[in-house]
Structure 1
Amino acid sequence: MMPAMMTSITGGPFKSLLAIGSGTSLLPASTPGYMWHWMVGDWMVMLHGDLKVGFNHQGGPRGVNKAESQNWLMIMAEREAGPGRLMVRGMFSAEPGTAPNGGFPQLFQSGETFRGRPIIDAQHPHDLFMELAASFTLPLSEQTSLYVYGGPVGEPALGPVAFMHRVSAAENSAAPLGHHWQDSTHITHGVITAGVTAWRFRVEGSIFHDAEPDENRNDIELGKLDSWSARIWFTPTQNWTMQVSHGHLNEPEAIAPGDLDRTTASLSYNRPWHGGHWATSLIWGRNHELMTGLTHGARAVRKSCEMWRLRIEPGSKPLS
């Protein structure tokens, strides 16, 4: 468990490393952080990941049974850099080699393509490179800072914390059925974000390339920064985060030409409870297809109550 609260201006209004979610998104500052950390010279290095291996049974006439593994590994390193703080981040997944043919079986899931056809009742594997990005944060006062974030693979300022980073979804590695209305931009090939953190607020905007990754999940597909987004965070206490965001996505789907406007809102709560943690997220998302005029949305409530956890600690301390 993390000693008291490990502080960093990178970690939002409460300056907590545990509040760092995917991209520049924010978790509640009271979120537990199950990771290893150590010092390498002037760098604070943090490592965490997730590995699930199992047999996926989807019942009914459309269901299938397949062995699968969902997994990811993330490393972050932070240090002082002149008047501010520099953080570099890498996130990787072996899912291109551990996902069943056709994707992870998941009834009613949709929103991607494979070999020119839409994926139905399955979720695609994550890319080998889930994040390759860096951020620089410059403090202006005790409660105000400016920051920039970007890289060849990152996440724009759009949507809630990506599902695999939310404590409320930690015990279920499957993407929620609302993923493609809420947080599907969490792996974006080319992104630049700038923002300001002031008092309990964070205001940020991004430009990025939003074409969905193709069937080759082992490469990086850079393109024009032709999409944009903006997001506002409010963190009234260490247990709460709230966000509203809107983005314009330039032709995100390979077989569905046309631009897309996405609007999302979310509320996340976490608090220590009886030696564990109670975590809940309420998320809403809406897509508006500009070519067809079609508007469709999704909402989700995810919660997790964790009373105990088995951890292997090879000589280093997990954060919490």
Structure 2
Amino acid sequence: MGGVASAQADTEHLRGTVTKVAGATITIQATDNQTRTITIDPKAMIMRGNAHLTVRDVKVGDRVVLDVDRTGSVATGVELETAAAAPASRAPQSQPPSAQPSQAESQQRDHTQTPAQGWQSMQDGILFGTFNRQGSPRGDKEFVAQNWYMGMLMRKMGTGMLTLNGMFSLDPATVGKSGYAEIFQAGEALGGRPLIDRQHPHDLFMQLAGVWRIPVTDKTGFTVAGGPAGEPALGPVAFMHRASAAENPTAPLGHHTFDSTHISYGVMTAAVDHGPWVVEGSLFNAREPDEDRWNLDFGALDSVSGRVWFRPNDEWEFQGSTGFLKQPEELEPGNLVRTTFSGSWFRRREMDFTAIAAGYGVNHKDQGNHAGFFTEATWHRGMNSVYGRFEAQQPEISLLLTDAIIDTPETRALRGTVLALTVGGVRDFVHTHGFELGLGGNVSFYGVPDVLQTGRGFCGTTSCVLGAGYGSSPVSFHIFLRVRPPAPMGRMWNMRMSQPMLGHSMTTEHKAPALARGFPNALE
């Protein structure tokens, strides 16, 4: 066997001692006494025990196990061992006796790193303390604190992997029943009336779900997922999990065109993945949560959706999805058919990353079709982030103007597209014990269709309503403090419910790409 522990598919497992480090290129003396020069891939997962490291943590004298690609010169995964992990005769002479771990420490390292021997855990979250000032005569100003926390557990179960997801928010207390001000936003109800120009708060229980993936072959797997709270196979990654929206405290205007089902109280999903393709289908309860945000709003699983993902490499992913939503709105009768397409690109180099996403979606309703488009990006370098979002959204015009549901031929004929451009940035000023604190702000500029610029009256079957306009060019802004908790396993970016915690593959050779795509390894 020599220095090669095993060879499977396109990966060689190489064990040795680091003798030289030059940037991302290391020289090792393998256990067969051969000298090898290896370049560590920028997307490689680098670990010591349960800790994720960067290439800067690799030092001369370290004992390493490398996953080397078919060229024999690039490492796609790196595990740093302590001297006691190898036979004593091979221990580096420079290693002091005090650095030798105890047997209990070695057992703990093995326990936390190997899913087959126990649970692995992961967490992420965010808190925005936000001063919000919305422009136009219909705007508002306020201080709110949007937040969410998510935890995951994973372990081997039978021939597959079990992942348990829990996601929670205290928005009902820190934001309030009416949510936060956001002009042109609509989609839910409060007190028997439509909630207009405000983004609703998230529920306490955002996700309570389990995922079990069973490998069928080296390239194919079958996944079942579901729970009392979760998301169906519909739409792009929900906005709070998109790396391209990681620093933006506000929901997109197209939230109810793309990803409003990310909190569905009752979901069952099945998926098949093969190479770069994933095909998913869901049965779920599509009814919007009610205004009591502290409970679970169960309903019949009478809605259905399907989604196809294509990932040509670790940086790009595309999805197309469609779903039938039965009676989703509390105040507006009728069903809805939603169709979405999206693509995203995510590249990271150690602690820096660039993420871009774009999507098109349309809601088909009896009262008419309403489409939306978005593109957004986040650029992070060192302690600084810059982000932006552009949207073109077709709202329900009469709903925005009157705060009432008036379905007449006149209101159905009203059409218009709202344009919104947001640019912002965040400067991190504290990184301590895994916590990340940053100060940020953004400004939003709007293009308003003529029909929404001035007030207008509408008459229904029993009464008439006069609505106020938004003006021609409103401007909104936010100033916020952003706090993230420690995330030793990386941030939960580009996450979705039916994805196992460590990606689609159960083998080490595929962990690094999966983590690089959704769970960066060098943030701590």
So what's the TM-score if we normalise by structure 1?
A: 0.86
C-alpha separation in 1, matches of 2:267 and 2:351: 39
Q: Where do residues 211-222 of structure 1 align in structure 2 (5 Å cutoff)? A: 211-222=287-298
Choose the corresponding residue for 2:263, options 187, 191, 196. Answer: 187
Mind listing any 5+ residue stretches in structure 2 that lack a counterpart? 1-41, 48-110, 384-427, 435-485, 491-519
Quick one: distance in 2 between partners of 1:316 and 1:227?
35
Deviation, structure 1 residue 302 = 0.8
Is contact 2:317–2:345 with CA below 8 Å preserved after alignment? yes
Whether 1:154 aligns to 2:230 is yes
Indicate the residue corresponding to 2:134 in structure 1: 58
Q: Is the 8 A contact 2:123 2:487 kept in 1?
A: no
TM superposition shift of 1:54: 1.8
Q: 1:316 to 1:212 in 2, by over 3 A?
A: closer
Give the one of 287, 308, 312 matched to 2:382. Answer: 308
Q: Is the contact between residue 43 and residue 349 of structure 2 (CA under 8 Å) also seen in structure 1? A: no
Partner of 2:195: 119
Compute the displacement of 1:223 (Å). 1.1
Instruction: Report the alpha carbon displacement of residue 145 of structure 1 after superposing the two structures with TM.
Output: 0.2
| Contact preservation (8 Å) 1:160, 1:265 | yes
Contact preservation (8 Å) 1:52, 1:71: yes
Rounded Cα–Cα distance in structure 1 between residues aligned with 2:263 and 2:121? 22
Which residue of the partner structure matches residue 174 of structure 1?
250
Partner of 1:230: 306
- The CA deviation string for residues 63-121 of structure 1, in whole angstroms up to 9 with x for no partner, is 11111001000000000001100000000000000114521101111111111111111
In the other structure, the counterpart of 1:27 is: none
Contact 1:2 1:318 in 2 (8 A): no
Q: How does 1:1-320 map to 2 (within 5 A)?
A: 4=45, 39=112, 42-100=118-176, 102-272=178-348, 276-289=352-365, 291-292=366-367, 294-309=368-383, 310=428, 311-313=431-433, 317-319=488-490, 320=520
Structure 1's consecutive aligned runs of 4 or more residues displaced over 4 angstroms after TM superposition are: none
Structure 1, 118-127 or 310-319: larger mean CA deviation: 310-319
Question: Counterparts of 1:318 and 1:151 in 2: how far apart (Å)?
Answer: 24
Q: Matches of 2:189 and 2:307 in 1, distance apart?
A: 28
Q: Partner letter of residue 317 of structure 1?
A: P
In 1, Cα distance between equivalents of 2:281 and 2:350? 39
Query: What's 1:22 paired with?
Result: none
Q: Is the helix fraction higher in 1 or 2?
A: 2
Q: 1:307 and 1:227, CA in 2 relative to 1: closer, same or farther beyond 3 A?
A: same
Measured at CA, do residues 45 and 254 of structure 1 come closer, stay the same or move farther in structure 2, by a change above 3 Å?
A: same
Q: Which moved more, 1:129-138 or 1:95-104?
A: 95-104
**Equivalent AA in structure 1 for residue 136 of structure 2:** G
Please state whether the residue corresponding to 1:317 is helix, strand or coil.
Answer: coil
RMSD of aligned residue pairs (Cα, Å): 2.1
Q: Distance in 1 between matches of 2:487 and 2:267?
A: 33
Q: Equivalent residue for 2:502?
A: none
Q: Is the 8 A contact 1:287 1:297 kept in 2?
A: yes
Aligned-pair CA distance for 1:60: 2.2
How far has the Cα of 1:3 moved from its partner?
6.7
Amino acid at match of 1:88: L
Cα distance, 1:316 vs structure 2: 7.3
Q: Is the 8 A contact 1:67 1:100 kept in 2?
A: no
1:270 and 1:279 in contact (8 A); partners too: yes
Deviation at 1:318, TM superposition (A): 4.6
Report if the CA contact (8 A) 2:132-2:142 is conserved: yes
* Percent identity between the two aligned chains: 44
Q: What displacement does 1:142 show?
A: 1.0
SS of the residue corresponding to residue 265 of structure 2 reads coil
SS of 1:77 mapped into structure 2: strand
Aligned-pair CA distance for 1:126: 0.2
Instruction: Mark the structure with the bigger radius of gyration.
Output: 2
Paired residue type of 2:186: S
Q: Following the alignment from structure 2 to structure 1, what is the Cα–Cα distance between the partners of residues 235 and 488?
A: 31
Q: 1: CA distance between counterparts of 2:186 and 2:46?
A: 40
